[in-house]
């Protein structure tokens, strides 16, 4: 059953279907309309680019490279004014083809990033662009709606990636159709689309189920709930059930006590035994999948497990959340607080900075399931939906930073459980003159506690001393701030390795792959110098270019920053024959290869149409040509000579004609290989000294001759191909717009380095003579096999990162400090010191680097201790307890930017064993596997009196009897806030002020004392 494509207003993917693409006369959407002047275009477009996102509006995706070409053409930025209106800067037809993974199905590439891969423009801007420039034949419009996320914090964003479901009709769960929806669509809209898909009358009463985990189906009760709020995710199976004529439903509804939804066993839906087979998902055809025997809902939930070793289902890129939750779940003091429901009476529903207790309740509910010991894995749908209501950045199913999620979760739990019901105004400005560090720190901490008191503060928060020194007047400013985690920089080199493709001026040389090491924030001139050092090519005769999709995306200036180069970019260094663009005799021109492509579109109503367009292929060229006396034929000879290594004459079996005719039909100038321009002169370039070249030339000459034994009638055959391999024209820098055709006559050509020439190949000659594999063949320079400094250097120690964190540094020009003494902004010297450390120390390794043009991940190996992390040398407050910590959790990240995968290691407080958490899969491991280069967030627990904290077995988790509370409070020896803060000499008071949890019973926090301590702060 083919999938039916909905209209824009419907819940389906709003992109245009290939089968509904209008014929050429309609497609151009007014493409014949006269294009306004560049200044007019800029004035019309600029205000619309600043348009705010409004729910329901349509925005379009543009290839960021095309958009940058347009900006250059209209002089959008001040530095583009020089090329404003230039023919070569003309962007040509709007091109989106580079954004598709599957152009026919209109599936976007994975992990596209805004401003790096695409730009978003309003619908009016898109219409203007298409009316002015037309739409490239191989492209499709990509438009998406603006959706609103968040319950209390509203946030609008363009939904670039839609969610795709498997739609099935009860009872056949094995036959489904793939269909795309917006996360802003309601369950009712989805149900109506499923009805329409299976031709079910709209008035027919139905209900919709969704399958999650292995064998569970939940009923979607709230029809007005959005796809996002319902927690539905990509590739999830949605099952439509029709009500019987007698008013009953085919399957009995079974209510699971742990959720608010109704669930049904998959064996009740389809109990047939079937064998497994592979399947392929498409949006236009019916897809069938066969699954094996399915276990029942109750069989699954009755599987026993060790408390705390329950996995978490990946709902679609939710591994970042799963890994953070598993480590937090194994933070025993916090988990016990939730499992015994101590948090319930501390919920602050009126805190405007909190979430009304909903986050605490959702997290508490999840912990009960994780530690029940009856479930092998569960899901985070409710918690994720709750987080999304207050933090729209986590809405959807894109990959996110696990540390950012952890920071939000801890901060949210703190505000939900904050015992300060009405936060007073507190002046945090502390006069530090003539005060000791101890006095300043204590005053700052006391003021902080007036507004913030929760279990999160007690367990996770410490205090950091920040010192600023004015370089002019030597004014010293001291600030003591609370911190929840330490973000540590990695002491790595400030260089990066790049692979460069060197194209030599000698046309017989293959492309050479070279590895160079350059400063991360250096300039292109330094890159060219390194290439020169490796290869001996004169750095002044090289041009660095970003080559993308067979075209020159960016020709770098030697002053451009290397940070403009991303790791995925293909950077070519072209050797040229001149060292200056102002050379009076020669110039260097960019040259593209193009071929004509025929595209046929078949319509659903039976008709079709065909159109042709030129498509780039091969590696583009930089060719040196004379400024004077240059004709079409001379230019053609130079280009053919330049491509002689991979452009071969056809064999005589492909063209059997007499030698005279064949010599006439062979492209002119092919044998004039000695007329290459070189060394800045018109001197003959020696290209035939090697035996290999001589042999190749002899072979080519031999192919021009006919065997004497050929039959006479072969002479009558005529080769249908034209005399030349290709014709030439002038094009824009994108290679998509013909500016002027070049005629084969004696007219003198005037070209410069801003002139782009396209070689439009005859399809016959290209197929017979152009060796694409040889053209793109690369050889490796010895540097490619050299180990980088990263591979050779010793391991980084965690304390090296702490030392770097505590080192003094001077603020940059873009981030000065206002000196209250000088009354001016100064580049002050800044230093961090640890003053008060928390019971639970979370360390974040800053592996990800961001700037405007470049994003990178540092995969350096950091060696961190599993036992005995000693921070004594970095804790300046000597009255603090010994800062000795033991590891109990690790969040790992594998892969690069914009994707990758998160897992976790955590020590279970039930049995003291280590486990590996990989979404729903949990397995036992040992300490030898914990320290890897993937470690991203580390969880440490403070020792007591120099000894590791003993683990208490968790035999049962029953809710506390509220009637026992008064007795428990009396036994706990509750203290008042005044008593807790009065003296720093009292160890228990100091520990409480530092965020420590009082301990009893073999160094483990007692629930009685814990709750009494919390009560005393209320």
Task: Report, as residue numbers or ranges, the catalytic residues.
Answer: 319, 901
Are 549 and 616 within 8 A, CB to CB?
yes
Q: Note whether 588 and 555 are within 8 A (CB).
A: no
Query: End-to-end alpha-carbon separation of the chain, Å?
Result: 63
Taking the C-alpha atoms of residue 392 and residue 147, their distance in angstroms, rounded to an integer, is 11
Task: Please choose, from the candidates 867, 1001, 1006, the residue with its C-alpha nearest in 3D space to the C-alpha of residue 947.
Answer: 867
H-helix or E-strand spanning residue 8: none
Rounded to whole angstroms, how far apart are CA atoms 721 and 723?
7
CA–CA gap between residue 544 and residue 537 (Å, rounded):
13
What's the rounded Cα separation, in Å, for the pair 208 and 569?
A: 46
Which backbone phi and psi does 327 adopt, to 5 degrees? -70, -40
User: Strand 756-761 to strand 586-602: parallel, antiparallel, or no bridges (unpaired)?
Assistant: parallel
Beta bridge partners of 503: 574
Helix axis angle, 358-370 to 381-390, nearest 10°:
160
Distance, in Å, from the CA atom of 868 to the CA atom of 798, rounded to the nearest integer, reads 12
Q: How far is CA 522 from CA 526, 529, 550, in A?
A: 7, 12, 27
User: 618 φ, ψ to 5°?
Assistant: 75, 180
Distance between CA atoms of residues 572 and 549, nearest Å: 13
| DSSP line for 364-404 | HHHHHHHTSSS-SEE--HHHHHHHHHH-GGG-SS----HHH
Q: Is 606 exposed, middle or buried (0-12, 13-18, 19+ CB in 10 A)?
A: exposed
Question: Residue 59: which of 67, 48, 73 has the closest Cα?
Answer: 48
Look up residue 962 and give its two tokens: 């509220």
Q: Which two tokens stand for residue 731?
A: 């094009």
What is each CA distance from 947 to 141, 629, 738, 844, 885, in whole angstroms?
A: 65, 88, 77, 25, 9
Chain position carrying tokens 């021009």: 704
């Amino acid at each position: 059953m083919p999938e039916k494509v909905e209209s824009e207003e419907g819940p389906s993917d709003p992109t245009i279907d290939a089968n509904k693409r209008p014929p050429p006369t309609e497609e151009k959407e007014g493409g014949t309309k006269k294009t306004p002047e560049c200044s007019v275009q800029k004035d019309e477009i600029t205000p619309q680019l600043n348009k705010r996102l409004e729910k329901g509006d349509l925005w379009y995706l543009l290839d960021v490279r095309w958009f940058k070409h347009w900006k250059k053409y209209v002089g959008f930025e001040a530095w583009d004014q020089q090329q404003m209106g230039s023919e070569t800067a003309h962007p040509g037809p709007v091109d989106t083809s580079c954004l598709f993974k599957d152009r026919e199905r209109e599936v976007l590439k994975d992990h596209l990033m805004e401003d790096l891969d695409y730009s978003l423009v309003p619908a009016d801007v898109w219409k203007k662009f298409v009316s002015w420039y037309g739409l490239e034949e191989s492209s499709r419009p990509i438009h998406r709606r603006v959706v609103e996320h968040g319950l209390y914090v509203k946030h609008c964003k363009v939904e670039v990636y839609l969610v795709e479901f498997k739609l099935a009709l009860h009872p056949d769960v094995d036959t489904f159709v793939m269909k795309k929806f917006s996360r802003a669509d309601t369950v009712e809209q989805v149900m109506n689309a499923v009805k329409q898909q299976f031709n079910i009358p709209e008035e027919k009463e139905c209900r919709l189920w969704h399958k999650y985990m292995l064998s569970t189906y939940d009923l979607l009760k709230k029809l007005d709930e959005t796809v996002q709020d319902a927690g539905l995710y990509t590739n999830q199976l949605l099952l439509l059930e029709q009500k019987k004529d007698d008013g009953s439903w085919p399957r009995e509804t079974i209510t699971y006590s742990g959720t608010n939804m109704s669930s049904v066993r998959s064996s009740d839906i389809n109990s047939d035994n079937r064998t497994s087979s592979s399947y392929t998902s498409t949006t236009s055809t019916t897809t069938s999948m066969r699954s094996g025997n399915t276990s029942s809902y109750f069989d699954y939930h009755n599987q026993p497990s060790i408390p705390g070793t329950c996995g978490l289902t990946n709902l679609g890129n939710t591994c970042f959340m799963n890994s953070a939750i598993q480590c937090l779940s194994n933070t025993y003091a916090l988990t016990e607080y939730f499992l015994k429901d101590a948090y319930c009476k501390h919920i602050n529903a009126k805190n405007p900075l909190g979430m009304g207790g909903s986050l605490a309740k959702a997290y508490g509910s999840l912990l009960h399931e994780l530690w029940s010991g009856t479930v092998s894995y569960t899901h985070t749908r409710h918690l994720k939906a709750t987080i999304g209501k207050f933090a729209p950045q986590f809405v959807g199913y894109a990959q996110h930073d696990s540390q950012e999620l952890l920071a939000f979760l801890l901060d949210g739990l703190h505000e939900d459980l904050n015992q300060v019901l009405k936060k007073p105004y507190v002046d945090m400005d502390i006069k530090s003159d003539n005060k000791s560090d101890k006095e300043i720190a204590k005053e700052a901490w006391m003021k902080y506690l007036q507004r913030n008191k929760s279990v999160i503060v007690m367990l996770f928060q410490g205090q950091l001393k920040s010192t600023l020194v004015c370089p002019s007047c030597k004014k010293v400013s001291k600030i003591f701030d609370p911190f929840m985690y330490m973000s540590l920089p990695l002491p790595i080199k400030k260089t990066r390795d790049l692979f460069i493709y060197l194209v030599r001026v000698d046309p017989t040389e293959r492309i050479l792959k070279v590895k160079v090491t350059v400063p991360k924030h250096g300039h292109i001139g330094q890159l060219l110098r390194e290439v020169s050092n490796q290869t001996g090519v004169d750095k002044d005769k090289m041009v660095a270019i970003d080559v993308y999709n067979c075209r020159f995306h960016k020709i770098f200036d030697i002053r451009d920053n290397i940070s403009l180069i991303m790791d995925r970019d293909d950077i070519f260094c072209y050797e040229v024959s001149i060292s200056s663009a102002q050379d009076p005799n020669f110039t260097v021109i960019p040259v593209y290869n193009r071929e004509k492509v025929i595209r046929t579109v078949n319509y659903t109503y039976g008709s079709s149409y065909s159109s042709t367009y030129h498509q780039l292929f091969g590696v583009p060229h930089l060719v040196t040509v004379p400024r004077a006396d240059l004709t079409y034929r001379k230019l053609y000879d130079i280009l053919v000579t330049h491509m002689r290594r991979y452009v071969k004459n056809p064999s005589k079996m492909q063209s059997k004609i007499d030698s005279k005719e064949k010599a006439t039909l062979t492209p002119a100038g092919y044998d004039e290989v000695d007329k290459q321009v070189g060394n800045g002169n018109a001197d003959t370039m020696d290209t035939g000294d090697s035996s290999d070249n001589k042999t190749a030339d002899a072979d080519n000459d031999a192919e021009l001759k006919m065997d004497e034994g050929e039959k006479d009638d072969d002479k009558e055959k005529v080769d249908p191909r034209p005399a030349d391999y290709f014709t030439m024209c002038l094009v824009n820098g994108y290679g998509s717009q013909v500016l002027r055709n070049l005629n084969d006559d004696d007219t003198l050509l005037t070209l410069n380095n801003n002139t782009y020439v396209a070689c439009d190949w005859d399809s016959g000659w290209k197929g017979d003579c152009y060796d694409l594999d040889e053209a793109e063949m690369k050889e490796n320079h010895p540097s490619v096999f050299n180990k980088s400094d990263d591979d050779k250097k010793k391991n980084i120690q965690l304390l090296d990162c702490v030392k770097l964190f505590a080192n003094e540094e001077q603020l940059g020009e873009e981030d000065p400090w206002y000196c209250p003494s000088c009354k001016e902004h100064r580049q002050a010297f800044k230093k961090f010191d640890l003053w008060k450390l928390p019971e639970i120390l979370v360390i974040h390794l800053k592996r990800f680097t961001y700037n405007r043009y470049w994003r990178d991940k540092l995969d350096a190996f950091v060696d961190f201790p599993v036992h005995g992390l000693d921070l004594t040398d970095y804790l300046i407050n000597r009255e603090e307890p010994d800062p000795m910590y033991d590891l109990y959790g690790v969040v790992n990240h594998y892969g690069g930017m914009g994707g990758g995968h998160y897992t976790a290691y955590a020590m279970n407080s039930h049995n003291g064993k280590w486990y590996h958490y990989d979404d729903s899969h949990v397995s036992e491991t040992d300490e030898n596997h914990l320290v890897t280069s993937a470690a991203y967030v580390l969880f440490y627990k403070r020792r007591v009196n120099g000894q590791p904290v003993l683990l208490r077995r968790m035999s049962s988790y029953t809710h506390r009897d509220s009637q026992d509370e008064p007795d428990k409070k009396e036994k706990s020896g509750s203290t008042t806030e005044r008593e807790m803060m009065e003296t720093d000499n009292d160890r228990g008071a100091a520990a409480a002020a530092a965020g420590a949890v009082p301990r009893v019973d073999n160094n483990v926090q007692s629930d009685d004392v814990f709750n009494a301590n919390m009560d005393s702060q209320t």
